[in-house]
Amino acid sequence: AQRVTQPEKLLSVFKGAPVELKCNYSYSGSPELFWYVQYSRQRLQLLLRHISRESIKGFTADLNKGETSFHLKKPFAQEEDSAMYYCALQTDSWGKLQFGAGTQVVVTP
C-alpha cells in the first residue's frame, strides 16, 4: 500500500540551528516526491520537488530509495521557517498526490 509517514508532529528548534524533517514513504513504483509548506494564514504551496533537485529558501531534500526516505533539511533555521510542512508522494502519472500528516516547525529566537 502507498503510504507517506512523517513521524514528527512538532519540531521545535532554535534560530541558527540545523533542522531536519523526516519523511518516509511506501510505494512499489518509481517515486516522485514533494515538500509542501503552509505558513501561518497562508495557503498550501510547493516548497520543492525531487525531480528538480533544487534548493529553495535554503532547504534541500535527498531521495534515498534504499531507506525509502525524503528528508527535508536546512543547515541554519530562520524564524520565517516556522510553518507546517507536508511531504507528498505522487502515486500515478496524472499528478495524484498522497500527503503525510505534516510536521509543525517552530523556530524560536
Partner 1 sequence: EAGVVQSPRYKIIEKKQPVAFWCNPISGHNTLYWYRQNLGQGPELLIRYENEEAVDDSQLPKDRFSAERLKGVDSTLKIQPAELGDSAVYLCASSLGQLIYNEQFFGPGTRLTVL
Q: Report in angstroms the alpha-carbon separations of 60 from 14, 27, 44, 68.
A: 19, 22, 18, 16
90 binds partner 1 (CB under 8 A): yes
Rule CB under 8 A: choose which of 14, 96, 106, 108 binds partner 1.
96
Q: How far is the CB of 36 from partner 1 (least distance, A)?
A: 8
27 binds partner 1 (CB under 8 A): no
26 binds partner 1 (CB under 8 A): no
4 binds partner 1 (CB under 8 A): yes
94 binds partner 1 (CB under 8 A): yes
Binding stretches for partner 1 (CB under 8 A): 4, 9, 32, 43-46, 49, 51-52, 86, 88, 90, 93-102
